[in-house]
Amino acid sequence: MKTVYVLNGPNLNLLGMREPAIYGSSTLADVQKLCEEACARNGLALVFRQTNHEGEMVDWVHEAGRVHAKGELAAVVMNAAAYTHTSVAILDAVKGTGVPLLELHVSNVQARESFRHHSYLSATARAVMCGLGVAGYGLAIEAVAQW
């Protein structure tokens, strides 16, 4: 059984508690449940985490890289949140480990402020999904199950 790492970046612990017009009313716990169900449907194991710290995200990509090296990783599905737009360190971790990455955003970042239009991760991601709300997490798992 392969494992999907679903890694969430800063402030996503606030999901469902603020800005429902942009991010909806589901909480991160709801998202985790949705991911668990999608993984169960697709015969995948799930590692689901959230961090507010860039270095911790880097460490988790390295951990996923070790799983990848054993041939046991389906993919990393990452909503790097604000780090998407700032983090060369996370980009380097993805490049350095060679993990297959699906970059995910709840909102349509291209329809928002211009500083959200650039992603350090997109060029190294195998796929990018945005604007589908939290349903995107389930759809992302359905997609990577075919990788």
CA within 13 Å, CB half, 125: 20
The residue type found at 111 is: A
142 binds ligand CA2 (CB under 6 A): no
Binding characters for ligand CA2, 44-83, by CB under 6 A (x = yes): -----------------------------------x-xx-
User: Is 105 in the active site?
Assistant: yes
Using CB under 6 A as the binding rule, the residues of this chain from 20 to 49 that contact ligand CA2 are: 23
145 binds ligand CA2 (CB under 6 A): no
105 binds ligand CA2 (CB under 6 A): yes
Q: Do 50 and 83 touch, CB atoms closer than 8 A?
A: no
Q: Which of 112, 146, 113 is nearest to 127 (CA)?
A: 146
> What are phi and psi for residue 2, nearest 5 degrees?
-85, 160
Query: Shortest Cβ distance from residue 66 to ligand CA2 (Å)?
Result: 26
Site of tokens 């790492």 = 5
Binding site for ligand CA2 (CB under 6 A): 11-12, 14-15, 18-19, 23, 79, 81-82, 84, 105-107, 109, 116
Q: Where in the sequence numbering do the catalytic residues fall?
A: 23, 105
